Amino acid sequence: MSDPVRLALVGCGGISGSHVAGYRSLYENGCREFRVTACCDPIRQRAEERARAIAQFQDRKPEIYTETGDVIRAGIADAADLCLPHYCHHSVAIRLLEAGLHVQVEKPVGITVQATKLMIEAARKAGCILATAENVRRDLAPRAWTWAIRERRLIGRVHMVVIQSVAFGLRDFDASQFKWRAIKELAGGGMIMDSGAHFADMIQVLFGEPDEVRCWMDTFDRRLVRDAPVVGDRDADVEDAWHAEIRFRKGPEVVWTYANALAGHNLSNAVYYGENGAVLAHGFAFHPFQGGGEAHLADGTTVSNQDVIAQYRATLSPEREQQLFPYGCTQGFAIEVWDFIDAVRTGRTPEMDGEAGLRAKALCEACYESADSGRVVRYRDVLEGQARAYQAPIDEFWHVPAPSA
Ligand SMILES: NC(=O)c1ccc[n+]([C@@H]2O[C@H](COP(=O)([O-])OP(=O)(O)OC[C@H]3O[C@@H](n4cnc5c(N)ncnc54)[C@H](O)[C@@H]3O)[C@@H](O)[C@H]2O)c1
């Protein structure tokens, strides 16, 4: 495709603002490979707001829609960037794919493994691209620390990873973005499925496929959520505390702890211990290295974030630099949008396609399946759809059929 890709932004709530900031950075750095032609949200004002922001840097204001079907009928988009609540990822994506649009969908792809497989199948049948919008792995510092740990082997073999985030902070169930997030059928799960999806991806980027998972979880904050979409008034039922152990056949033991409804003492740790020292990841522990990092080596020396980034960039050819940091953008949202657009233009596979999104998602689901069954769960069994007792009621609720073999 030589003309700019005509892009529809579908879902104009919270995170779509970061996607628009990504479009803007690309545009301001000279990228003309796409044009946003539509903004769609049932809440018209939200679509208007995003369209107005886009009109500030692009030559034309995108059209406003409140229905995905109208975007399709208007025939003004080749591709769609989906920023939707988890419960409508699969239905909206499949509808667009069947209409011949390429689709990028925010993590955690489908609401269950089965729903995700259905999306992948729909993309294959339509001959369209399904990409996962996963920003964390593409930011400059996460790419640099991934290189430092995997390629440069800065701390040698990694033996143990400790990820802890315990901070008392109850969610505001009056705010629309927390209503759907509090209910299992709408979100698929709590923070494991939300910010946890970034960690589930990065830990596999760093160490490959997990072997097995043991997880405990509970819900301590079961306040009533009023007027949640689809289900109306319901008590919150997704997890707000967990402790998971993730085992790799040839990788570290990972312990992963979270709580947001247990008061009295906060924990915040993200440490990767290897045979030659430890790497500390800064920022939110579930977004590895987004806030940079530092290494403390066994010989008493320290390696700074700046050093690792400089050393990493020195290894990249100009072509690789353009591929990983297109138009000089080093921020994950801009990079994920460009990757999707470039995949649409050239027909290549995006860095994170539906299958890669599914692999990250399956690790989140393995935590739920283990907690639900009280047993250690094999990651492969979850990925292959054999362990799905936790997810089965969600699939039934949304009438998600089993994918064809
Ligand atoms: N990458 C990140 O760091 C990050 C951060 C936050 C959220 N997310 C992901 O982004 C997605 C959206 O999260 P959010 O925080 O923006 O949620 P949100 O509730 O703030 O926004 C969702 C928007 O979708 C709209 N919507 C609902 N049904 C729709 C439909 N059928 N068609 C079009 N629009 C529809 C809603 O009206 C709302 O404006 C989720 O998948 C979430 O996990 C990613």
Averaged confidence pLDDT in the chain: 97
Which residues contact residue 72 at a Cβ distance below 8 angstroms, ignoring those fewer than 6 apart?
Answer: 95, 96, 99, 101
Mean pLDDT of 264-272: 97
Please compute the mean of the pLDDT values over residues 72-91 and round it to a whole number. Answer: 98
Q: With respect to residue 376, please indicate whether it lies within any of the assigned structural domains.
A: no
Ligand 1: does its nearest atom lie under 6 Å from the Cβ of 12? yes
- Both 39 and 150 in a single domain? no
In a domain, 365, yes or no: no
What range does the domain containing 106 cover?
Answer: 5-136+324-352
Burial of 286 (0-12, 13-18, 19+ CB in 10 A): buried
Identify the pLDDT of residue 403: 82
Tell me, in angstroms, the distance from the centre of ligand 1 to residue 14's CA: 6
Pairwise CA distance, residues 344 & 322, whole Å: 17
> Of the residues 318, 335, 362, which one is the last residue of a structural domain?
318
Q: Mean pLDDT over residues 243-264, rounded? A: 96
For residue 324, the SS3 value is: helix
Q: Which pLDDT belongs to residue 131?
A: 98
Residue 1 has pLDDT above 80, yes or no: no
Residues 129 and 142 in one domain: no
Residue nearest to atom 39 of ligand 1 (CA): 13
In a domain, 284, yes or no: yes
Number of CB atoms found within 10 A of residue 325's CB: 20
pLDDT 10s digits, 146-162: 999 999 999 999 999 99
Band (405; pLDDT cuts 50, 70, 90) = low
| Within-domain flag for 131 | yes
Ligand 1 atom 28: residue of nearest CA: 84
Local structure of 181: helix, strand or coil? helix
pLDDT one-digit tens code per residue, 161-175 = 999 999 999 999 999
Does any ligand 1 atom lie closer than 6 A to the CB of residue 84?
yes
Q: Which atom of ligand 1 is nearest to the CA of 86?
A: 41
pLDDT of 122 higher than 90: yes
Count of structural domains within the chain = 2
276 and 153 fall within a common domain: yes
Domain holding 122: CATH number?
A: 3.40.50.720
* pLDDT (mean) for 271-295: 98
Q: Please indicate, yes or no, whether residues 178 and 188 belong to a single structural domain of this protein.
A: yes
| pLDDT of residue 235 exceeding 70 | yes
24-61 residue pLDDT tens: 999 999 999 999 999 999 999 999 999 999 999 999 99
For residue 401, is it within any domain?
Answer: no
**Mean pLDDT of the 130-147 span:** 98
**CATH assignment at residue 198:** 3.30.360.10
363: in domain: no
Quote the pLDDT of residue 250: 87
Q: Is the CB of 42 under 6 A from ligand 1?
A: yes
Residue 395 forms part of a structural domain: no
